[in-house]
Structure formats: structure tokens, C-alpha cells
Amino acid sequence: MAATACPRVGYFRFTFGSTMPNLSFGEKIAQIAWRLAPKRTLSRIIGWSAKRRLPRPIQDCILRSYAKTYQLNCSEAEHPIEHYPSLQAFFTRRLAPGARDFPTEEGSVVAPSDGTICDAGIAHAGKLLEAKGSAFTLNALLADDELAGQLLGGPYVVIYLSPRDYHRVHFPLGGKVIAWSHIPGKLFPVGNPSVKREPGLFARNERFVTVVDSPAGKYAVVMVAAVGVGHVTATYDTEVATHDGGFSKGRRVRHRQFSPPIPIERGQELGIFNLGSTTVTIFEPDRVKLNDLVSDAQIEMGTPLGRIIPV
């Protein structure tokens, strides 16, 4: 079924938490600076620079310096550093076959991405990230009241991808992709300082939502864009390239439903951050039991997050 555009979005219906901390003078200055900064223009410049192909000796020097600075585990990469023609190609590198061990238990739910666990819990009253002082509602995050209602009270996990992480996103459970949504928005940075400064940040930035019908009911994987990381592609739908010309112009939420749905397997590639950001994964209530996940802990794609609750 063809993608459709929804009515123009003048604003989103945010529900901010009351737990935003008082900002220091320096944090207020940073907040003002980032709000005034031409974030989309900066993202285009960063994206353009990352795609440039330089003479091989210079390119190798840049990539090795990048790998050393961020302590990348290059042994996991599909190819050696000298294979990659640009910083973006290296940044979006695939893993070598067998680089990650997936759990053998059929009911195991796995992490969709590498990164740092920002938060995990239950979306009580539809709110997420209250503990981090930046609460927002499922309705605001998903821009889909019906889907938000189905996931209300379900478990969620937020994972931040830093420059050192593998930047492809995978399906945490098998099933069938039934829909996606592209939601325009801001491109604030998504590190802890920015989350602290900007209320409801993840529901304000641009994002791409994939909806899956699985053995644990419906779940959604939200890829949140950020400055330098506005461009998101979906592996299961080659039409999706969020910052390519013509994909989605203006402030319109765009949806696509699949009939028939697209079969996928646990661990299969879902999409790519062309530079990095954050994933938010939300499951139906009472269908998935999360493990005891520790906030600010590092996690790798494929690591068990929890298990399906038998019905």
C-alpha cells in the first residue's frame, strides 16, 4: 500500500514531566545556543563531509584516528579499515558474520542496537523517561493515538548510540512489519546533557517508527534522529531515506501500511543511522518481561533484554 501523508503538524501534543531539573547558568546558555543553532544545516554539512572520498592515505589516517579516539572494536567489522571509502561508509559498517552470538531460546528478546541504556521500565500513564527528568507520552513519541493505546503500560527500553557504537538497528523479535511512520521534528543532540536541557527531547526530535506484529503482540522500534544524524534508512523498505530529496517534505507525519505484511526474523537488520542517535523500543503490556537492566550500562545488539511471557 502506498505511503500517505497525514494532516500538517503545527505542533505535537507533548506532555512534559515535572521532574526537569533546575539548569545551571552554563546549561541555560547551552540550551539557548542549541535552540538558535541551524541544526538542519549543520546536519547537512556533517553528512556531506562524512561522505567525501579523500586520497587513500589521508582517508586511512582519518579512519584510524577515529577508531582510536572512540576505541572502536574494529575486529567486529565486516571489512578492514582500508576497505571503507569514506567516514560514513565506515560509520555504517556491517558486522562480520558471526560477530555476535544470539541467544538460542526462542522466546528471548534481544537489544535492537549497540549503545548505552538510558532508561528501561514500564510506560505508566503512557509516560517514558520520567526517571531521567525528561518525561514524554507515547502519543507524542509515536504520533499515533491508536498504537499508543495498544502499547500503554508496556515495557520499554531507550538506548543511546555514541560515535563508538555499531550503527545498524535490528529487530528484537521476529514477526511481520505491518507499518512505519516518519515524524518530522527537531535535530537536537541526544546525549545526557541535551536530554537534561530539553524537556521531552525524544518526542520532539525527528523520528522513524517501525511497527511489528510478533509472537509477543505488537511492538514499535523508534529511531530518533539528532544533529548530524538526520538521515535514516529502512532496510526492509528501500523507499525510506528520510533526508533524500522528495521522501518527505514539510512538517507532515507520513505513514505506510503493508498488505501483506513483511516477514522478518529476530536479529534481522531493520535500518541504519547514517551517523548515530537513539532507539526507543516499546512492547505491548504483559507480553514481555524485561531483565534487570541497569541504567547507563553498555549493551550490544543481540544481547538478551528479556523474554516473551507465555500466554
Output the average pLDDT for the chain: 81
Confidence of residue 9 (pLDDT cuts 50, 70, 90): very low
Q: What is the pLDDT of residues 171-221, one digit of tens each?
A: 999 999 999 999 987 776 666 666 666 667 778 888 899 999 999 999 999
Residue type, 171: F
Comparison of pLDDT for 70 and 5, the residue scoring more: 70
Closest by Cα among 168, 184, 143 to 236: 168
Answer with the residue of higher pLDDT: 5 or 219: 219
Residue 239 grid cell: 523507499
Locate the domains of the chain by residue range.
25-91, 102-308
Give how far Cα 40 sits from Cα of 123, 156, 254, Å: 31, 29, 19
Report how far residue 311's alpha carbon sits from residue 239's, in angstroms, rounded to the nearest whole number. Answer: 36
Average pLDDT of span 46-65: 76
Would you say 77 and 95 are in contact if contact means Cβ atoms under 8 Å apart?
A: yes
pLDDT at 131: 52
Catalytic positions: 114, 170, 277
Which cell numbers hold the place of 24?
A: 545551571
Q: Is the pLDDT confidence value at 128 over 60?
A: yes
Check pLDDT > 50 for residue 20: no
130-148, pLDDT tens digit by residue? 655 667 889 989 999 999 9
Q: Give yes or no for a contact between 150 and 111, defined as CB atoms under 8 angstroms apart.
A: no
Q: What is the mean pLDDT of residues 55-82?
A: 90
